[in-house]
């Protein structure tokens, strides 16, 4: 029996959190241990639940995903953060990675890609989704 990846989902939309939980927990390697509806909740959750990986929505208020990522990465560097957004602009991914995130996946990415990102980041790698990666490659950034 493998120990599942302990995952926290951070998004200000209930339906997004519920859907991701349902989809991601189908994979035996993942256990959703917490759901947070704001950046502030995510910061508290990080200290209380100590998840292995957090899926962090970018566009939340009053504390957005960039700020929550910066704080969590500094306070709890062992928690690996994957940013999520509907936005596929490479600047979002680049900025979030500079804040300490280990990955970035758009909300348009297929569930298989999200699962692959979670596993890879958990294992110590970094992941930028295909949609954003293609844009970075076409601009010669990576």
Q: Which domains does the chain have, with CATH numbers?
A: 5-138 (3.40.50.2300)
Q: Rounded to an integer, what distance in angstroms lies between the CA atom of residue 137 and that of residue 7?
A: 30
Q: Reply yes or no on whether the pLDDT at 8 is more than 80.
A: yes
What pLDDT does residue 125 have?
Answer: 97
For residue 74, give Cα distances in angstroms to 14, 22, 30, 101, 129: 27, 30, 24, 11, 24
Closest CA to 41 of 10, 71, 86: 10
Q: Rounded to an integer, what distance in angstroms lies between the CA atom of residue 89 and that of residue 38?
A: 22
pLDDT in tens, 35-59: 999 999 999 999 999 999 999 999 9
Question: What is the DSSP code (8-state) at residue 141?
Answer: -
User: And the tokens for 92?
Assistant: 């979002």
- pTM to 2 decimal places: 0.93
User: And the tokens for 13?
Assistant: 């939309």
């Amino acid at each position: 029996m493998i120990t599942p990846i302990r995952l926290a989902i951070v998004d200000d939309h209930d339906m997004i959190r519920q859907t991701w939980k349902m989809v991601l927990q189908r994979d035996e390697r993942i256990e959703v241990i917490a759901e947070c509806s704001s950046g502030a909740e995510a910061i508290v959750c990080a200290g209380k639940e100590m998840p292995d990986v957090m899926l962090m929505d970018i566009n939340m208020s009053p504390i957005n995903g960039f700020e929550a990522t910066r704080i969590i990465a500094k306070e709890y560097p062992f928690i690996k953060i994957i940013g999520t957004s509907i936005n596929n602009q490479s600047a979002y991914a680049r900025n979030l990675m500079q804040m300490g995130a280990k990955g970035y996946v758009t909300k348009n990415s297929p569930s298989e890609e999200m699962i692959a990102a979670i596993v890879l980041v958990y294992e110590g790698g970094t992941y930028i989704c295909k949609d954003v990666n293609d844009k970075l490659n076409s601009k010669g950034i990576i």
